[in-house]
């Protein structure tokens, strides 16, 4: 028969057990946050690619994918369908902003000027400066096939 002396049984101190519990909770929390971020990135990419594909498949001349305001800059993301388009102007809240806007077509910076040719199935990114504190703007992009309108709101 084994005899155990009462003084020899040692356990984990409450401080060490609390520290282990905190580390386990922080580890699980970090895993949940990393999983949520990865899932949101995947959903965002799937949504943007399906939206761009939908715009292209419907054979629109030009479609707005997104409009938003970040700081004092207006961002407009567009896509052309199966037919090319010629951008002729950008209007914000009824005022012409064409000379002030930076336009990027498939990653190449260009200016609208008297008309900017955009090939079919292309992505267009437009950046326009706005007065500080602007939280909402109506943007109209004029092209050879008509015009498209979007409402931009401040993010962040």
What is the phi-psi region of residue 32: left when phi exceeds 0, alpha when psi lies from -120 to 50, beta otherwise? alpha
First to last CA, the chain: 71
DSSP code at position 82: S
CB distance 140 to 147 below 8 Å: yes
Q: Which helix (H) or strand (E) holds 68?
A: strand 63-70
Percentage of the chain exceeding pLDDT 90: 37
pLDDT score of 60 more than 60: no
- Name the residue among 7, 155, 133, 138 with its Cα closest to residue 68: 155
pLDDT score of 149 more than 70: yes
For residue 23, the Cα-to-chain-centroid distance in whole angstroms is 34
The pTM of the whole model exceeds 0.75: no
- Name the residue among 145, 155, 148 with its Cα closest to residue 65: 148
């Amino acid at each position: 028969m084994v005899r155990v002396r009462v003084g020899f049984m040692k356990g984990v101190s409450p401080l060490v057990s609390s520290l282990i519990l905190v580390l386990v909770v922080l580890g699980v929390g970090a895993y949940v946050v990393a999983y949520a971020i990865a899932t949101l990135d995947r959903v965002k990419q799937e949504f943007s690619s399906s939206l761009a594909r939908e715009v292209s498949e419907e054979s629109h001349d030009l479609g707005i994918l997104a409009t938003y305001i970040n700081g004092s800059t207006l961002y407009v993301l567009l896509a052309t369908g199966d037919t090319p388009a010629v951008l002729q102007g950008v209007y914000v809240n009824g005022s012409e902003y064409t000379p002030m806007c930076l336009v990027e077509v498939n990653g190449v910076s260009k200016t609208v000027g008297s008309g900017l040719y955009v090939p079919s199935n292309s992505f267009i990114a437009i950046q326009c400066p706005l007065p500080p504190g602007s939280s909402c703007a109506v943007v109209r992009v004029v092209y050879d096939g008509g015009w498209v309108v979007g409402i931009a709101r401040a993010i962040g």
